[in-house]
Amino acid sequence: MDTPDPSQLVDDVEAQFTLDAANLLAVTRAFLEDIRTGLSKYGHVPMAMVPTYLTEIPNGAEKGTSLAIDLGGTNLRVCEVEFNGDRTYSSHQQKYKVSDEYKLGEATALFDYIAECVHTFLHSPSLESSSVYKKCCSGHIDHTHPFTAPVQIALAFSFPYEQRAINSGALIRWSKGFAAKNAVGQDIVKLLQDAFDKKKMSVECAALVNDCAGALVARAYTSGGCDLATIFGTGTNGVFVEHVNKVTKLNDDRDLRMIVNTEWGAFDNDRKHLPKTPFDLKLDHESLNPGGQAFGKAIAGMFLGEVARNAFLSLVDAGALFGGKLSAQMGTQWGFDTELMSAVEEAWAGVGAHAPMAVGGGLGGEIPVRMDDGKEGTDGPAVPPLSSLVPGNESISSDQRAALDRVRSVLIAHCGYAENEVSLRDAMIVRRIVVAIAQRGAQLAGCGVAAVLVQMGFASHLRGESSSDVEANGDVKAAEVERRINMGVDGSLIEHFPNYERSLRSALKLLVGEDVESRLGIGMGKDGSGVGAALCVLQAQKDAARFS
């Protein structure tokens, strides 16, 4: 039996992550179908299309001071944000650790702890000059003084829930290591409000906000408006502003617009359209939620590194990578993460060459945001073929050798291999697989954005199809089809990963055309869980009245 050609093995793995126009169009078409099904019916597609009951989109003129709680990970954050009415704001915040005792214990204990953190924050000496402190303590500098006026607060809740009103929503399931008992199916706001009331705190939870909806609101405030927002980071999601009469499951024909939360991480959980390489399937089978969050597992930063590691394992097993040797780290689940993928690309381009950059924080320092300027960073030297990397007889340029040496240094520093165990050829293979997986993720992200643009009417149809094949949102006026489109973004991939925006935009050009893509402005909607949520408090009273 012939021994497989190592170069051919690498080509075959790389090809499995390559998507053509037909693949991307099929994914986008299915995405659009699920958007419309989710807007018309409850529970028929995994992508829930959750109405947020947020209809007041900021324009930057909002003034006032409000509070937000951000619950979604190891730390709980309480923020006070002052909006100046000129698209600027200032904020003060404090973090509090959420122990496993609260994450895994009774839900009432968790929400009692949240209330205690808010109480501590409101009576902090550093807050004594704020308008919120003066309101709740009548200006008396007495940390034991009871609140004498109600204070409204927003809860930014980064777990799946079914929204029932601007200030009501039922928890669907916990994630991110939380499993507090007797919470699933319960109204999250009521659990929090009961905790406030138990402590006799005059604090009212006025808004329940998803972090992606918060990103849209935050972007709208700082830029004067926003049409859609996405998160491409550790996790992923998308929201957009839709006509209420298009959300037919609400049975509301009023001339209003509302932010709709797609919860698109769950798109195509049965994988009829998304890629399903052996490396993706292995990740899914070994995950905490097999069969769930299929789109998220294909594009989110939490998972891309593990997909890459699975691909590397197959090449190690075939003897095509690292001389067939598996380091302890590379052999461990999550042992190669997306930060390292970013580090490989940065090293190739000669930026931050010897240390991974911060994708979510951890291994390296932050770099300037590269948004909407057409300059996605340096590509680095031309990529040499593997055949030019014969040990001892490499026919590569000095720039190529320097780039490969930098990639090799990252692998040695962070993947558990000794210097003599990583060759320039290994560095080239790793870099090729990393690029293929990252590009595929950004292209699939583009499918989600393209489907939303068609649904909103900014694109009349997908390229290669007539408007009768994929009908756009008929309520959008022709003038809107021509205007600038404002998309807020948040997340470590879109903010930091080299060439991510470029790949996403390339997919959009293919799917909806260069005219639509060129009108899409992409800007950071930072801190949707803090700034965005706090801003929703200012909007909440109007929204609550509309749907009461």
Options 70, 112, 187, 211, the catalytic residue: 211
Q: Any idea what the Cα angle at residue 450 is, between residues 446 and 454, rounded to 5°?
A: 175
Assign 3-class secondary structure to 426-495. Answer: HHHHHHHHHHHHHHHHHHHHHHHHHHHHHHHCCCCCCCCCCCCCCCCCCCCCHHHHHCCEEEEEECHHHH
Q: What's the CA gap between 237 and 259, in Å, rounded?
A: 13
- Map residue 209 onto helix, strand or coil: strand
- Map residue 322 onto helix, strand or coil: helix
Instruction: Find the Cα–Cα–Cα–Cα dihedral 348, 350, 354, 358, rounded to 10°.
Output: -90
Which strand (E) or helix (H) includes residue 229?
Answer: strand 228-232
Q: What is the DSSP letter of 374?
A: S
Q: What's the CA gap between 301 and 218, in Å, rounded?
A: 22
Q: Known catalytic residue: 211?
A: yes
Q: What's the CA gap between 177 and 179, in Å, rounded?
A: 7
Measured CA distances, 118 to 65, 288, 529 (Å): 16, 32, 16
Q: Known catalytic residue: 158?
A: yes
Q: Known catalytic residue: 502?
A: no
Options 66, 77, 112, 158, the catalytic residue: 158
User: Would you tell me how many other CB atoms lie within 10 Å of the CB of residue 388?
Assistant: 15
Options 36, 87, 164, 173, the catalytic residue: 173
**Where in the sequence numbering do the catalytic residues fall?**
158, 173, 211
